Amino acid sequence: MEEITVQELKERLGRHNKMQLLDVREPEEFEICNLGGELIPLGELTRQAGRIRRDVPVVVICHHGFRSAQAINYLTQRLGYENLLNLKGGIHAWATQIDTTMAVY
């Protein structure tokens, strides 16, 4: 499974690289803090997979990187996705290393 660090994501976002951000946390978590992008909770991936792009890199985000890894395993093994990157350390790493004004939980 390919990973991307929060610093690498920050650089890509700064260069306006085409990508999709996919947050697999729950709506309550997304409300606390987020990087934008598509919110598809892990439990809804099966029903909403059609919203996930195949033509650009997709960075999958959760709290610490575990649920996003589960999502990537499912999407690659069951649905054949090949363009997914796991955000190493999740939104927590972003909040502690990149944007220290972001809420943490």
Tell me how crowded residue 77 is: count the other CB atoms within 10 A of its CB. Answer: 9
Shortest CA distance to 89 belongs to which of 51, 40, 35?
A: 35
Active-site annotation holder among 40, 62, 84, 85: 62
What residues are paired with 20 via a beta bridge?
A: 58
Question: Which residues are paired to 3 by β-bridges?
Answer: 86
Token pair listed for 6? 């929060």
33 is a catalytic site residue: no
Alpha-carbon gap, residue 64 to 27, rounded angstroms: 16
Residues known to be catalytic? 62
